[in-house]
Chain A
Amino acid sequence: MGSYLYRLYRGFQGEILAVPGRVIALIFVTLLFLLPHIIPHPLVLKIFSLAALFAIFAASWDFLSGFTGQLNLGHALFFGVSAYSAALLNVHLGVPPWATIPIGAIAGVIAGLLVGIPALRLRGFYLALVTLAFPIILIGVIFVFPDITGGELGLFGVDRLSGSRVLDYYIILLVATASILVMWKLTDGRSKIVRTGVILHAIREDEITARASGINTVRYKLMVFSISGFFAGVAGGLYAHYIRIAGPSILELFFSFQPIIWTIFGGIVTIYGAVAGVFILYPLVELVRLHPVGEIYRIVLMVLILIVVLLFMPQGITRWVRDHIEEICPRCKLINIRTRRYCRACRAPLRAEK
């Protein structure tokens, strides 16, 4: 028993404590879980609940468009389909939230497959244009049936997730942590557990070579679309129950571009980059909004921050930070903290001696 615990501790030490980026992530997640005890202000809780929810959304965009290279400009579709199906079921049929959110996520999967099938024939900009059209079509459909869908005003009076704000926050945070961990593991090319990461990278890099290696790219692309739809759907269902309204604004163009902005800000093709982007930009913009002047200029501010960050850190903020605190061993490719001079595993010098 003791030896197992010791081995577990050594594993933890080697995999997390020795890698500064992961230590930061661990501290950050711990702080998030302690947040209701540190700052019990309802507004702060609300902002961070929504940020956690949007983190799933942005990560699912990165999963689809960043990793697999299927540029999707209509990601709000998955979010909106799920939010609306959760709200419709809840308002009209009285289905409780614990059932509507999974059903919403499945609706997201179906939407993902619907977008995925034309995506098999299209690539790059053409695919982007097609995906852009889908949420706009859905808005049209919603406006056609105002009695059922609430039309322009949206569906009101959706049930709360739970009784209290703190519990809501914990539910969202737990779901977000689990979803993001799953997506991160699925896309991790160095993962020791699942092998999809390598295949997704391969499909993005060169589809013909991937096919010539015997990989059924069609199946993987559809899989990616449905997984991305699933997680965006989870976020959408949670959103409908948290905000207690499902309106057409969540299908608008701006809502589709938000995950792209967050992901590029944080660093594309890294799930954690999308998450970091959300947790930096979203609270910042929301706090600025409290001030009457900020309310007007919040989008301008967001874009300005984005431009400045991308000018100096073109790879995104997480990559920039990572390059400044971590060093990859030239011999064994293990991640080391930058202060080390020799690799922690193979003792190779990390930098040329001066």
Chain B
Amino acid sequence: MAAPFLEVENLCKHFGELRAVDGASFHVGQDEMVGLIGPNGAGKTTLMRLITGILKPTSGTVRFKGEDITGQDTAKIVNKGIAPTFQVVKPFRHLPVGANVMVSCLCPRAKRRGDWVKTVELRARDALEFCGIADLALEPASVVSHGDLKRLEVARAIATEPELLLLDEPFGGLSPAETELMGKFLRRLHRGGRFGRLHSEGPAMVIVEHKLSDLMKIVDRVIVLSFGQIIVEGTPDEVVRNKEVIEAYIGKEVSSLVS
């Protein structure tokens, strides 16, 4: 059997006494869309940050396409094909939206030989167009609304032409209509294809999200995290009916009351 695409093994991150991620192990296939859910403070964001090397894990390993990438520099990991987005949008506020994406297009992974400024600009524009914010390309990121910044975040990530996309709350702060649009567009991105000059192999995705109903519509598999540990893994239908999940979200007594 070929080496799994992304393999996380026994990953731990302790902040002093607090065990934010405590021995999480899971894997993601090359053509999967995985949802990562869990109550607040379960360690979802920390887990994402550990994979991308923004935080260094206390112990455990992360393997990407059979290669150990644990604790490597973020830029290096991104250039191997894992692109993260952030829960709190972090655009380059003084740069125009187009230039924000251009930065990603300039990374060694996305850069082509003989690229010059015009082609990079056009590729950035294609990423923006795909995310539906091409009309804002010239506006500085500081004047753009939150929903559009969320899309900018995704555009910035896909401009590095990733094989694995780690999306941290892509629907956070979006209106229901925007959420639906974003969900559809992530699904389309996952199928892969050619979007203007931007080529996508159909990246695998790990999506951290709180809007469960919207998430369940688009993902193939769900992993539930609670207090740093993975409690359940399965298809959306299985997870929704799982007792442990309901307990983790709502609490024991309440769930017994409900049943």
Contact = CB atoms under 8 A, between A and B. Distances in A.
Interface of A: 189, 191-195, 198-199, 201-202, 205-206, 208-218, 332-333
B118 interface: yes
B95 A215 contact: no
29 contacts: A189-B95, A191-B117, A194-B117, A195-B102, A195-B106, A198-B95, A198-B102, A199-B106, A201-B92, A201-B94, A202-B103, A205-B93, A208-B74, A208-B90, A209-B92, A210-B92, A210-B103, A211-B73, A211-B74, A213-B156, A213-B160, A214-B78, A214-B110, A215-B75, A215-B103, A215-B106, A215-B107, A217-B75, A333-B96
B229 interface: no
B75 A214 contact: yes
A39 B52 CA distance: 62
B92 A211 contact: no
Contacts, number: 88
Given A198-B102, A201-B92, A205-B94, A213 B117 contact: no
A191 B104 CA distance: 17
Nearest to A214: B107
B210 interface: no
Contacts of B102: 195, 198
Contacts of B4: none
B118 A192 contact: yes
B78 A195 contact: no
Interface string B58-93: 000000000000000111101100011110001111
Interface in B80-131: 83-86, 90-96, 99-100, 102-104, 106-110, 117-118, 120
B108 A214 contact: yes
A215 B74 CA distance: 9
B3 interface: no
A216 B77 CA distance: 11
B98 to A, nearest CB: 10
A189 B86 CA distance: 24
Given A199-B106, A333-B138, A212 B78 contact: yes
Contact of B99 (A189, A193, A332): A189
Given A193-B117, A199-B106, A333-B96, 13 more contacts: A189-B99, A192-B118, A198-B99, A202-B103, A209-B90, A209-B92, A211-B74, A212-B74, A213-B107, A213-B156, A214-B104, A216-B73, A217-B75
Q: Which 8 A-B pairs have CB atoms at the shortest separation, nearest pair first?
A: A214-B107, A214-B78, A205-B92, A211-B74, A213-B104, A209-B90, A202-B103, A333-B138
Contacts of B90: 206, 208-209
Q: Which residue, of A195, A214, A215, A217, has the highest number of chain B Cβ atoms within 10 A?
A: A214
Nearest to B76: A216
Nearest to B80: A214
A18 to B, nearest CB: 18
B174 interface: no
Contacts of B85: 212
A339 to B, nearest CB: 23
B54 interface: yes
B54 A208 contact: yes
Nearest to B138: A333
Nearest to B53: A211
Contacts of A211: 54, 73-75, 78
Contacts of B95: 189, 198, 201-202, 205
B187 to A, nearest CB: 23
Contacts of B75: 211, 214-218
